[in-house]
Each structure stands twice: as structure tokens, then as C-alpha cells.
């Protein structure tokens, strides 16, 4: 049968008003259902006619999933359906978590941020172009990775964490949330579960067809941020080919706590280099007790890329990661 990559095939549409209804519909439709948040990842799949659900469950009307509230512990709770614009412009986010405001504000374009949601940005699928083109790779249930052969075009692919699949996580907000030690709240018919942001993303060694712990029937409902680190410095940088509507080649997010000219604690996360955002724990350990200098940064950068392995066309990511981790320490403000 011939391929055509335009026009969304028909589906049935449900617009639940609450999380309970949504979760019930998700269970009813199982793997023939599809949860629609902002839709910006979804419509690509639909228009390419690669993902063809019978039923689409549109969360646009679930108001309880929208909004940003200060929690009792001084932290923040952000509904998964809150738009990226709302996150980037929210006063509490900007004052307490400028790292997240910055990361959210660098996603794609204003229109996408107006419609795209924080939850959707977190759980979006990889942009490996072989996979997105509908090739039957490991991640699509096949038995080959087209991006890792000697002649593959893999400039955008991973240098860490490959396991058959070499795709990378494309999210801008994910590394920021891990650096901020956020928690992901997940609802399903079995009740509510909470994951540390760091544990929320999984590699192909755990499940090659998913990028997060979410299984069919699971719904990411809220993102919890702990009370802000007082006086912490932060850094976020996204290297991309175009300054709008582009995914990162490599991005870095860091939170650095400096007291008396010495780093007390640091959380450094790199994205775009692995199938999941990578927390540079060895680099974090190495910088504790050191001054946030160029040398400290350089050392942290070198440590971060230990064990990294380039594919045919992405060796630059090793240097880029090293340099961005350096900046994440040296230039944190």
C-alpha cells in the first residue's frame, strides 16, 4: 500500500471535563486511544499518518490540569496543561525558578508556547528523523537502528546512553526541571504516583519504545517544584541552528549554590546528548567545595564527557557538552 504523508485520518474525539473522566476514557480505549495536550507533537504524527488512534482524548477542557499555585511547603505546583507561555511569564516562576522560565521561553515559537503545554513539552517524543519518518526502527517496534550505521546521518543523535537506539530527548524544560529537583505527579485508574524528575525519563535499555515512565493509561497531571534554593545561581543555554523553532543540538541547565565564594552544591543536567536528559552527577561532585571559576568549569566539563562516544557525524557534541558544562559552572548567575 502506498504511503501518503498528509491529511489526518479520521478519529473519534472525546473532550473530558475532569481528570477522572480522562483517565477512564484512556483506560477504555487503551492503546487505540491517544491523549491530546497542546497537540504540537501529536498533529505531526497524525498528519504523517504514522500514529492512527481510533479515539483522541483532548485534555483542553480539563481545567484542573491548568494553573500555577504556591504549595504549602513554599514550592510550586504547575498543572501539566499549563501553557509554556503561562509558565515563562508567571511571576512566581520568574522570581523563584528563573531557570524554568528561561527554558520554557526558549521553546520553539510564541505561537507554540501559547498552545504547547509544560506536560507536553516534558513527554514529547524524540525527533530522530528516521523514526519520525516512519521507518521501522527499534523504537517503532522493528529490529534495526537506521541512525547508527556507518553511513547514517546522525549529527543530531546521541553520544551517551545509546542502547540499540541512538535518539535524543528533545525537551527544553526537562533538563531545567531535573536541575530544579522537580517531581512529576502521575494519575491512573490505580491512583496517583510521584516520580523525581530525574527518574521520570527512561532510556532505551529500560524500554526502547517510550521516553518516560508513563505507560498507557498514565496521565502526567502536575509538576511539583520544591521551595526555591535561596541565593542559588542558575544557568540555561540551548545551542541550536536557528534561533526560533529549533530543537537543541545540546542544552544545559544548572543550579549552583555558592557560599563564601565556594560551590556548596550544584545540579547540572545536559539534554540533547542521550535518549534522556543526563544529570552530570560526577561533575556535580567534582565542583563541590571549589570556586566557580573557569578551571572548575573546565574540569567539570571534562568529567561530564567521560565515556561519551561519538557517532559518525556528531563528535562536536562532545566538545559542545564539555564547554556548556563549563559555562554552567563558570557563568551561572
Partner 1 sequence: MAENVIGTDISPPDLRAKITGQARYAEDFHAEGMVFAKLLLSPMPHARVLSVDTSAAERMEGVLGILRADELPVQAEGTREGALTDEPKYEGEPILAVAAVDETIAAAAVEAIRVELEPLPFVLDPLDSLREGGPDAHVGGNVAGRGELSSLKWPASVFEEAGADKLPMGEAPAEWTIGDIDAGFAEADVVVEETIVHQSVTHHPMEPRSCMAYWQNGKLFLHGSTQSTERTRGNVARMAGVEPDDVVFIGEYCGGGFGSKISGSPIMAVPAVLSRKIGRPVMLRITRYEENYIGRARAGFQGWAKIGFRADGRMTALDLYLVQDSGPYGASDFFTAGTVATASYQPENMRFRGVAILTNTPPRSAQRAPGGAQIVAMLEPLVDKAARELDVDRLEIRKLNAPDSDGWLGPQQGPFTSAYVREALDLGGELFGWEEKRQLSGQRNGTKVTGVGIGLSPFTAGSTGRDGLLVIRPDGKLHVHQGIGNLGTHSIADTARPAADVLDLSWDQVVIVWGDTSKHLPFSTVQAGSQTTHAHTRANHAAATAMVGLLQELAARELGGSPSSYRVADGRVFRAGNRAAGLSFGEAARVAMALGGKFSGGEYPEDLNDATKAAVAGLAGEGLIAAARDNYERAGAVYTWVATFAQVELDVETGEVEIIDLASATDCGTVMHPRSLAAQTNGGVFQGIGMAKGQRWVFDPKWGIPFTKRFYTARPPGILDVPPSPRFTAVDRADPHTPVGAKGIGEPPVGAGEAAYVCAVADAMGGLCLCRTPLTADMILAELEGRPRPYGLLDTHV
Partner 2 sequence: MLETEVIQSRRGGFTRRKFIKGVIATGATASAAGYLFRGSGVLAPMLSAQGAVERLVTLNVNGQQRRVDVPKQETLAMTLRYQLGLTGTKLGCDRAECGACTVLIDGVTHYGCSILTHSVRGREVQTIEGLEENGQLHPVQQAVLDEGGFQCAFCAPGFTMSMVGMLSKHPNPTREEAAHLLSGNLCRCGDYDKILNTAMRAAELSRSRA
Nearer to partner 1 among residue 130 and residue 229 (C-beta): 130
Pick one of 95, 111, 149, 189: the residue that binds partner 2 (CB under 8 A): 111
172 binds partner 2 (CB under 8 A): no
Q: How far apart are CA 199 and CA 182, in angstroms?
A: 10
Stretch that binds partner 1, among 5-13, 82-90, 161-169, 173-181 (CB under 8 A): 5-13
3-state DSSP assignment of residue 255 = strand
Asked if 152 is part of the footprint of partner 2 (rule: CB under 8 A), the reply reads: no
The entry of partner 2, partner 1, none near residue 4 (CB within 5 to 8 angstroms by kind) is: partner 1
Based on the shown chain and the rule CB under 8 A, indicate whether residue 151 belongs to the binding site for partner 2: no
**C-beta neighbour count of 189 within 10 angstroms:** 12
Tell me phi and psi for residue 148, to 5 degrees.
-110, 15
Should residue 131 be labelled a site residue for partner 1 when binding is judged by CB under 8 A? Answer: no
Query: Residue 179 binds which one of partner 1, partner 2, none, with CB within 5 to 8 A depending on kind?
Result: none
Helix (H, G, I), strand (E, B) or coil at 249: coil
Q: Binding to partner 1 by residue 313, rule CB under 8 A?
A: yes
Contact 203, 53 (CB under 8 A): no
Closer of 88 and 249 to partner 1 (Cβ): 249
The yes or no reply on residue 72 touching partner 1 (CB under 8 A) is no
Angstrom distance (rounded) from CA 320 to CA 159: 11
Other Cβ atoms within 10 Å of 306 Cβ, number = 10
Is residue 187 within 8 Å of residue 79, measured between CB atoms? no
Rounded CA gap, 321 and 333, in Å?
A: 19
User: Per CB under 8 A, does 34 bind partner 1?
Assistant: no
- Contact between 166 and partner 1 per CB under 8 A: no
Distance CA 143, CA 165 (A): 10
CB of 5 to partner 1, least distance (A): 5
DSSP annotation string for 67-96: -EEE-TTS-EEEETTSBHHHHHH-HHHHHH
CB of 55 to partner 2, least distance (A): 8
39 binds partner 2 (CB under 8 A): yes
Helix (H, G, I), strand (E, B) or coil at 174: helix
Q: Does 314 bind partner 1 (CB under 8 A)?
A: yes
Q: Which stretch binds partner 2 (CB under 8 A): 231-239, 240-248, 255-263, 268-276?
A: 240-248
Q: Does 333 bind partner 1 (CB under 8 A)?
A: no
Residue 244 CB, nearest distance to partner 2 (Å)?
4
| 17, 18, 32, 206: which one binds partner 2 (CB under 8 A) | 32
φ and ψ of 171, to 5 deg: -75, 140
Binder among 63, 71, 74, 109 for partner 2 (CB under 8 A): 109
- Assign 106 to helix, strand or coil: coil
Q: Residue 15, interface with partner 2 (CB under 8 A)?
A: yes
Amino acid at each position: 500500500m502506498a504511503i501518503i504523508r498528509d491529511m489526518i485520518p479520521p478519529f473519534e474525539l472525546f473532550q473530558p471535563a475532569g481528570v477522572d473522566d480522562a483517565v477512564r476514557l484512556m483506560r477504555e480505549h487503551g492503546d487505540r486511544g491517544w491523549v491530546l495536550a497542546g497537540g504540537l507533537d501529536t498533529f505531526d504524527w497524525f498528519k504523517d499518518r504514522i500514529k492512527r488512534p481510533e479515539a483522541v482524548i483532548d485534555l483542553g477542557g480539563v481545567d484542573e490540569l491548568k494553573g500555577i499555585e504556591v504549595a504549602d511547603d513554599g514550592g510550586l505546583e504547575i498543572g501539566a496543561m499549563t501553557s509554556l507561555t503561562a509558565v515563562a511569564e508567571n511571576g512566581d516562576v520568574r522570581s523563584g525558578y528563573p531557570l524554568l522560565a528561561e527554558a520554557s521561553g526558549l521553546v520553539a515559537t510564541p505561537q507554540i508556547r501559547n498552545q504547547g503545554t509544560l506536560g507536553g513539552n516534558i513527554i514529547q517524543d524524540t525527533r530522530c528523523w528516521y523514526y519520525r519518518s516512519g521507518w521501522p526502527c527499534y523504537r517503532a517496534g522493528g529490529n534495526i537502528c537506521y541512525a547508527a550505521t556507518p553511513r547514517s546521518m546522525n549529527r543530531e543523535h546521541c553520544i551517551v546512553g545509546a542502547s540499540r537506539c541512538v535518539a535524543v530527548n528533545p525537551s527544553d524544560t526537562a533538563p531545567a526541571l531535573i536541575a530544579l529537583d522537580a517531581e512529576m505527579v502521575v494519575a491512573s485508574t490505580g491512583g496517583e504516583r510521584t516520580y523525581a524528575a530525574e527518574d521520570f525519563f527512561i532510556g532505551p535499555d529500560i524500554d526502547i519504545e517510550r521516553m518516560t515512565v508513563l505507560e498507557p493509561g498514565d496521565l502526567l497531571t502536575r509538576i511539583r517544584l520544591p521551595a526555591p534554593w535561596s541565593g542559588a545561581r542558575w544557568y540555561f543555554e540551548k545551542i541550536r541552528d536557528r534561533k526560533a523553532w529549533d530543537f537543541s543540538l545540546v542544552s544545559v541547565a544548572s543550579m549552583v549554590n555558592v557560599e563564601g565564594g565556594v560551590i556548596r552544591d550544584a545540579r547540572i543536567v545536559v539534554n540533547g546528548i542521550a535518549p534522556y536528559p543526563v544529570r552530570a552527577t560526577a561533575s556535580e561532585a567534582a565542583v563541590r567545595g571549589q570556586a566557580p571559576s573557569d578551571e572548575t568549569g573546565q574540569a567539570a566539563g571534562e568529567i561530564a564527557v567521560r565515556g561519551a562516544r561519538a557517532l559518525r557525524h556528531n563528535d562536536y557534541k562532545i566538545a559542545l557538552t564539555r564547554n556548556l558544562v563549563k559555562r554552567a559552572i563558570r557563568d551561572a548567575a
